[in-house]
A and B are shown apart, each in its own frame.
Chain A
Amino acid sequence: MSSAPGSYYLPNPSPWPLIAAVSVFTLVTGVALWINNVGAGFTIAMVGLAAVLFMMFGWWRAVINESVGGNYNSEVDLSFRMTMGWFIFSEVMFFCAFFGALFYARNLAVPWLEEEMLLWGSYTGGWPTAGPAGAAHIGADVHDVGRGQFGTIGAFGIPILNTILLMTSSITVTLAHHALRHGDRGKLVLWLAITVALGAAFMYYQVEEYIEAYSHLGLTLGTGIYGATFFMLTGFHGMHVTIGAIILFIIMLRCMRGHFKAEDHFAFEAAAWYWHFVDVVWVGLFIFVYIM
């Protein structure tokens, strides 16, 4: 409802925020019911998921149309930049919780369990560990390895390959940015396509790694504190890579449609920042989860 063209763009009343709230509510309520085996939980969750996707599609379509329509001046652009920066900071803090859990368990909780010997006198601690009760407490997930025994993924197999893939993709997305700034749309799309492909390759190997862990190493989500921290950290990271790759893919489609100008392309940069962020998180994972 902004009055003068060129001033700070204030959007008209919009149904999307309300739709967003109701769809998220439907999704999480469905999941809560589903995991407790109540009634139509799964169906409700899927309806919610569909509604969330519909909302994302519709809301972003509106935003893209406003952007292409030239509604966003430099002040709005700066607001968006700050917003994306603070959003990424919030994501960093989310990962901090899980890294914190890893450090706490590994450096404090497990050694204390070993030293105090209150309940489990024979527990030897160490890392990796599935805890005093070992695999016994997680039930029948382990088939061909002994009680409490499991293997870990070596850092210099798939993980180092994945590190190279992601690092390279950070470079290619930067090359795409350079191409965009020089108005070279062919190269821009090419580098973006390579970036998305590298992301997809990363995810492919990550899934391979999980299959290896589950089927041969006896390493599962239930393998004590090691399995919990390993799968939650790499799992949330993989989820972010997937989201980032989808975002970059959509940005690529937009580039092919001729969106963005050499000097004005916030959405591209936001996607690139997000991609660098998942890259940095991976470096943390590679060091603290795989190597150490």
Chain B
Amino acid sequence: MATDHTHGHDGHDDHHDHGPPPFFTRWFMSTNHKDIGTLYLLFSLAMLFVGGSMAMVIRAELFQPGLQFVDPHFFNQMTTMHALVMIFGAVMPGFVGFANWMLPLMVGAPDMALPRLNNMSFWVLFMAFVLLLSTLLVGAPAGGWTMYAPLSIQGGLGIDMMIFAVHMMGISSILGAINVIVTCLNMRAPGMTLMKMPMFVWTWLITSFLLIAVMPVLAGAVTMLLTDRNFGTAFFDPAGGGDPVMFQHIFWFFGHPEVYIMILPAFGIISHIIPTFARKPLFGYDSMVFATAGIAFLSFVVWAHHMFTVGMPLSGELFFMYSTMLIAIPTGVKIFNWVATMWRGSMTFETPMLFAVSVVVLFTIGGLSGLMLAIVPADFQYHDTYFVVAHFHYVLFSGAVMAMMGGAYFWLPKWTGHMYNERLGKVHFWLTAIFFNVTFFPQHFLGLAGMPRRIPDYSTQFTEFNQWSSLGAFGLGISQLLFVYIVFACIRGGKQATAEVWENPEGLEWTVPSPAPHHTFETPPRIS
């Protein structure tokens, strides 16, 4: 085992073969951004199915009114764990996987700035999920992923395990984000100025800033939960002068930037896909950068729109309403730029482009329903209904997850050296897009009609829309098996991919062979 080298300089010698090391060393002790990226992506895919099966339990129970399959407490555990697994296990690590693979290739760096820390980020995350998922054996948290006090003050061992798992995820995210920032700021090839950085790099740079700013705040919030639960503090206990609403404020100070942490890298990915298949450079690159920064800035001053109904002064409601609506402006800039990029382009619709275009359309639906939720008086009706569920699945599934799927098809040939099966890819896209809408579009109506979320039973008039939704969800879940098949088939073989893969794509990643060699850009390229 090539372990820590007490004689550091030894590491420099005798490494003329640049192939990957043996199995255990390669996958468990890696300092290679591509291997760690692969680990992150596979982990994310696995968690997509873990979280997805929990969603299947939820939708099976909601197929009919009344209680059919699971008891309400288990149902609550499923809604809680589904969210935690999808957010911290599927979406965030998925984007970190993309960042690991693509950032060094895009900025012309030999690796991430801090390769060992990079591996630590992954394994701490992995162990955090061992801890989180083992709560299912001792009584999983059931108070919602937002861990609101006082519900989270009750409950037993499972809650404490969740708190520590969240701490570990925080450590992983902060270390990962620092690594990304330092890579972006210090590892760029000579000549690549900040305003020449690819959009995906920009979005990740800004995402990293958000992560470093808010993950410690979440750590603080759950630490207060821990001490309230176990050591007699009264942060969230009015009897001691505390306030449960304070938890919500601290939590959402983290939670709202977290929403953008999960969508900005998606914006980055489709800002690469759309220009490639429209065969035009990205429209309004500078405005895209500033819009991203603007969204990030605004994300710090909108948090209380998640808690309009909880009770806060009118001035607070108005401030958070207006600041939230402001976000529509930079977001609108981005949507406009993507559409303008496609305008009069020589468009073709390979699988990545299908996903990217659908993201633009479906994310916009989610953005507009978000605007509706931002209106305080309207939110008093929508709050905690299925309208909210529909809203955030439009931004998180058809925004974040579908952008990642598009990104996976886009870069799979670069990663594996093989073309994926285009016909199956398109089938996967249409199944996903159609079943997604069958699942979540009816939930808008359910919510507007007043069906509350996170309840295993419902009034009979909601039955038909719920049945559509459940059937769509089963279809959506099963369709993703096709994605797994396509990905693994592409790893095993397929048509040899060229270095460029697509027609004249822009970016340094297309200048290295497919598959990308184990080590790339050991001598930095020069950007003119």
Interface residues of A (CB under 8 A from B): 1-5, 7-18, 20-22, 24-25, 28-29, 31-33, 35-36, 38, 58-59, 61-62, 65-71, 75, 78-79, 82-83, 86-87, 89-91, 93-98, 100-101, 104-105, 108-110, 112-113, 119, 129-133, 137-139, 141, 220-222, 224-229, 231-232
Contacts and interface: CB of A to CB of B under 8 A. Distances in A.
Contacts of A113: 238, 241, 243
Given A12-B31, A25-B127, A96-B217, A66 B182 contact: no
Contact of A70 (B5, B9, B128): B9
B114 interface: yes
Contacts, number: 284
A7 B220 contact: no
8 contacts: A2-B11, A3-B522, A24-B171, A32-B164, A58-B4, A71-B9, A86-B181, A226-B241
B234 A225 contact: yes
A93 B214 contact: yes
Contacts of A75: 186
B253 A100 contact: yes
* A contact face: mostly helix, strand, loop, or mixed: helix
A8 B110 contact: yes
A246 B178 CA distance: 24
B167 to A, nearest CB: 7
Given A17-B123, A225-B234, A228-B242, 14 more contacts: A1-B15, A15-B1, A16-B116, A32-B160, A70-B9, A94-B217, A97-B216, A97-B217, A98-B220, A100-B253, A113-B241, A131-B241, A132-B238, A228-B228
A139 to B, nearest CB: 8
Contacts of B182: 79, 82-83, 86
Contacts of A1: 11, 15, 18, 31, 519
Contacts of B18: 1
Max count, chain B CB within 10 A of own CB: residue among A1, A35, A69, A229: A1
Contacts of B214: 93
A267 to B, nearest CB: 14
Interface in B293-345: none
A95 B168 CA distance: 18
B238 A119 contact: yes
B117 to A, nearest CB: 7
B119 A17 contact: yes
Interface string B104-120: 00000111011111011
Contact of A15 (B29, B114, B122, B161): B29
Interface in B207-258: 212-217, 219-221, 223-224, 227-228, 230-235, 237-243, 245-246, 249-250, 253
Contacts of B127: 21-22, 24-25
B156 A224 contact: no
A32 B240 contact: no
